[in-house]
Structure 1
Amino acid sequence: MNNLKQYLSLAVSHPGIFRNPQSEGLDVILQEEEILQIESLVAQKLEQKGLPLEWAKVGIVYKDQYLMVLRDAVRFPDGQLGTYIRILVKPDSTRGVVILPIYQQKVLLIRHFRHATRSWHLEIPRGFGEKDSSSEENTQRELMEEIGAEANSLVSIGEMHVNTGISSECVELFFADIKSVGEFDVKEGITQLLTIEVSEFERMISDNEITDSFTIAAYTRAKLRQLLP
């Protein structure tokens, strides 16, 4: 089965990924003949710019056990035709979790090396969800794996779409009252566990010392819901 056939088969098996808006928006085109016409149109534009023609190909650009990259044929709101690339979490994957942990009235932060940026970040625990586990179970697991922590209570503080410009990923944010803390997970690239006063935590966000979007979003939700000490 060629790439386009796999792509169209994915559209049949997971129609929600390809749903079009009721009103104006970007429409995904799934008619094979029209897709081929759009590929030809885009290829002409790429050729004029001296760019690789394979960038015009609609289909599954890449996939592994974690994510999938699609290049769709689309009709833009002004009627123009073209392609648009997006990153999807696997259709059968479980939502990830992000946890703002409070221990003895203070915020727990980890110093974590992130491969994507090739740098260190101050952030709160987070992780992928495991299939057949609830969000609360995934949250408790991540707390134990990353900082050896147990929670007295967990409060869901809503969802967060990570990057709506290119990614479908959505995570659930949690506020956690921590009972106890153990060892942090060195093999995950964590080198330090910090216990920070809330006022200092807010200063670090304000002064750009914390740039992790998950941490900032969880703090904002917790602050607005008056959960912080």
Structure 2
Amino acid sequence: MTEGQVLHRDEDRLVLEDPVILPGGQHARRLRLLAAGPGPQVAVLPRLKGDVVLTDRFQHATRTWHWEILRSAGAEGLAGTDNAVGQLRDQLGASVSEVIGLGQVHADADVLAEPVWLYAARIDAVGAVAHGEAIRQVCTVLFAEAEEMAMTGQITDAPTIAALFRARRTGLAG
């Protein structure tokens, strides 16, 4: 496979169309979306007194509101935990007492190139919410309620669902 043609580039994203050879030998072209900057994609599951903090955020691609955990590009050169702490501070005005790594996930391996690094974090409070980050509101729910929201389709964001699953599997749901 060779590097593809740049279809679009802006301050956030780079869209490539790559030539590929499929397993059966057919030639095709596939889209690939990359972050324009070198910082890692980070998603953080905030825990406040054992409960899950969810944001109601507008996502442009789906043109709708989504209940999800915090997610954004991190800063290049910072450790993942430092990027998680920065997101909590910048988007929720929260102070952090502990950050736990939950591994990585590919949110849409068909198109998105970079993995999303997942974290859980214990926070002391929710402060000033960054409404400029397309956050309409914040809610706090029991861990089991967040899982039920994922099961019933109220939460559809893949990194959020993966973080809930991994937090449960690592004993952080209690």
Instruction: Read off the aligned partner of 2:142 and give its amino acid letter.
Output: E
Unaligned 5+ residue runs, structure 2? none
Q: How many residues align?
A: 174
Alpha carbons 1:96, 1:127 under 8 Å: kept: yes
Q: Does 1:114 align with 2:114?
A: no
Determine if the alignment matches structure 1 residue 97 to structure 2 residue 27. Answer: no
CA, structure 1 residues 77+176, in 2 after alignment: closer, same or farther (shift >3 Å)? same
Larger Rg over CA atoms: 1
Query: Structure 1 residues 78 and 156, CA, compared in 2 at 3 Å: closer, same or farther?
Result: same
Secondary structure, aligned partner of 1:94:
coil
For 2:108, which of 151, 160, 163 is the aligned residue? 163
What TM-score does the superposition give when structure 2 sets the normalisation length?
0.92
- Contact 2:116–2:159 (CA<8 Å) still a contact in 1? no
Q: Taking structure 1 as the reference length, what is the TM-score of the superposition? A: 0.71
Q: Secondary structure at the match of 2:108?
A: coil
CA distance in 2, matches of 1:145, 1:29: 39
For the 8 Å contact 2:55–2:137, the answer to whether it is kept is yes
In structure 1, what is the equivalent of residue 24 of structure 2? 78
Query: Contact 1:96/1:170 (CA < 8 Å) preserved in 2?
Result: yes
User: Alignment partner for residue 147 of structure 1, among 63, 77, 92?
Assistant: 92
Query: What is the RMSD of the two structures over their aligned residues, measured on CA atoms?
Result: 1.6
Deviations 1:41-81 (A, max 9, x none): xxxxxxxxxxxxxxxxx521122222222222222211122
Secondary structure, counterpart of 2:104 in structure 1: strand
Please name the residue that 1:177 is paired with.
122
**Post-superposition offset of 1:147:** 1.0
In structure 2, the partner of 1:210 is 155
RCO comparison, higher one (Cα < 8 Å, 6+): 2
Which amino acid in structure 1 is aligned with residue 112 of structure 2? S
Aligned to 2:15: 69
Match of 1:221 among 159, 166, 170: 166
Q: Percent identity?
A: 32
Residue 88 of structure 1 is aligned with which of 17, 23, 34?
Answer: 34
